[in-house]
A and B are shown apart, each in its own frame.
Chain A
Amino acid sequence: MDVSQDHAFGVSVKNMSKHFGDFVALDAVDMHIPAGTFHALLGENGAGKSTLVKCMMGFYHKNVGSIHIDGAEQHITGPHDAHELGLGMVYQHFTLVPSMTVLENLVMNHPHIPPVINWDQERHKLEIFLGTVPFKVPLDKRTSELSAGEKQKTEILKQLYLNCRFLILDEPTSVLTPQEADEILGLIRDMANHNQLTVLMITHKFREVLAFADAVTILRRGKNVGTFSVRDLTAEEMGHMMIGAEPIRELGSRKKLTGGDIRLELRDLQINNDSGERAIKAVNLSLRGGEIVGIAGVSGNGQIELVEGLAGQRPIDGGEIFVHGTPYRGTRAEIRNHRVACLPEEPLKNACVASMSVAENLAFRHFDIWPFCQGEKWLKRSEFTRHAAERIKTYGIKTRSPAMRMSELSGGNIQRTVLARELGEPADVLITANPVFGLDFAAVADIHAQIMEARNHGTAVLLVSEDLDELLELSDRVIVISDGAFVHETSRQDADLSVIGQRMAGH
Chain B
Amino acid sequence: MDYFTDKLSAALVPILALLVSAVLFGIFVAFAGVSPFETYALIYKGAFGTWFSWQNSLQRAAPLLLTALCTALPAQMGLVIIGGEGALVIGGLASVSTALVLQSFLPPVAVQITMLLAGTIAGAIWIGGIGALRHKRGVNEIISSLLLVYIAIAILNTLVEGIMRDPGQPQKSSTHPVADTVMFGNLPGMDVHWGLLIGVMFCIATFVLMYLTPFGFSARIVGGNPRAARMLGLPVGKLVIIICAVGGGAAGLAGAIEVAAVHGRANSALIAGYGFTGILVAFMARQNPLAIIPVALLFGGIEASGGLVQRRLDLPNAAVEVLKGIIFVVVLAFETFSGRLGFLKRRKP
Interface residues of A (CB under 8 A from B): 22, 311-313, 330-336, 342, 344, 349-356, 360, 364-365, 367-368, 372-373, 376-379, 398-401, 403-405, 408-410
Contact = CB atoms under 8 A, between A and B. Distances in A.
B220 interface: yes
Interface in B285-339: none
B230 A313 contact: yes
Interface of B: 1-3, 6, 212-214, 217-218, 220-221, 224-225, 227-228, 230-235, 346-349
Nearest to A349: B227
A404 B230 contact: no
B233 A364 contact: no
Contacts of B234: 332
B228 A351 contact: yes
A373 B217 CA distance: 11
A353 B230 contact: no
B228 A352 contact: yes
Nearest to B211: A379
Contacts of A373: 214
Given A313-B227, A353-B220, A399 B232 contact: no
Nearest to B3: A403
A404 B224 contact: no
A344 B214 contact: no
A400 B349 contact: yes
Contacts of A332: 232-235
A376 B214 contact: yes
Contacts of A342: 231
A175 B31 CA distance: 62
Given A22-B347, A353-B221, A379 B214 contact: yes
Contacts of A336: 233
B346 A408 contact: yes
A287 to B, nearest CB: 19
Contacts of B231: 311-313, 342, 344, 350-351
B225 A354 contact: yes
Contacts of B232: 332, 335, 364-365
A66 B21 CA distance: 47
Most chain B C-beta atoms within 10 Å of own C-beta, residue among A334, A351, A399: A351
Contacts of A355: 224
Contact of B233 (A312, A354, A376, A377): A312
Contact of A367 (B2, B6, B214): B214
A340 to B, nearest CB: 9
A344 B231 CA distance: 9
B348 A331 contact: no
30 contacts: A22-B347, A312-B231, A313-B227, A313-B230, A331-B233, A331-B235, A332-B232, A332-B233, A335-B233, A342-B231, A350-B228, A350-B231, A352-B225, A353-B225, A356-B221, A356-B224, A360-B217, A365-B232, A367-B218, A368-B218, A372-B214, A377-B213, A378-B213, A379-B212, A400-B349, A401-B1, A401-B2, A403-B3, A405-B6, A408-B348
Q: What are the nearest 8 A-B pairs in CB distance? A: A353-B224, A332-B233, A368-B214, A313-B230, A335-B233, A403-B2, A353-B225, A311-B231
A335 B347 CA distance: 36
Contacts of B348: 408-410
A354 B228 CA distance: 10
Most chain A C-beta atoms within 10 Å of own C-beta, residue among B3, B212, B224, B227: B227
B102 to A, nearest CB: 34
A246 B220 CA distance: 39
Nearest to B225: A353
Given A368-B214, A379-B217, A350 B227 contact: yes
A399 B2 CA distance: 12
A77 B238 CA distance: 53
Contacts of A356: 220-221, 224
Nearest to B229: A353
A297 to B, nearest CB: 22
Contacts of B235: 331-332
A355 B6 CA distance: 11
Contact of A330 (B2, B220, B233, B349): B233
A347 B3 CA distance: 24
Given A312-B233, A401-B2, A410-B348, A364 B213 contact: no
B236 to A, nearest CB: 10
A336 B234 CA distance: 12
Contacts of B2: 400-401, 403-404
Given A349-B227, A350-B231, A364 B221 contact: yes
A234 B2 CA distance: 47
A385 to B, nearest CB: 11
Contacts of A331: 233, 235
B230 A312 contact: yes
Contact of B228 (A333, A364, A378, A400): A364
Contacts of A368: 214, 217-218
B311 to A, nearest CB: 46
Nearest to A336: B233
Contacts of A409: 348-349
A342 B3 CA distance: 30
Contacts of A401: 1-2
A332 B1 CA distance: 34
Contacts of A313: 227, 230-231
A398 B224 CA distance: 23
Contact of B217 (A22, A344, A367, A399): A367
Nearest to A373: B214
Contacts of B230: 311-313, 330
A400 B214 CA distance: 26
A333 B346 CA distance: 39
Contacts of B213: 377-379
Nearest to B347: A22
Contacts of A376: 214
B349 A398 contact: yes
Contacts of A408: 346, 348
Given A311-B231, A334-B233, A399 B221 contact: no
Contacts of B3: 403
A356 B211 CA distance: 12
B349 A354 contact: no
Contacts of A354: 224-225
Contacts of B212: 378-379
A314 to B, nearest CB: 8
A335 B213 CA distance: 21
Contacts of A335: 232-233
Contacts of A377: 213-214
Nearest to A407: B339
A399 B214 contact: no
Contacts of B220: 353, 356
A479 B148 CA distance: 52
Nearest to A422: B231
Contacts of B221: 353, 356, 364
A215 B228 CA distance: 44
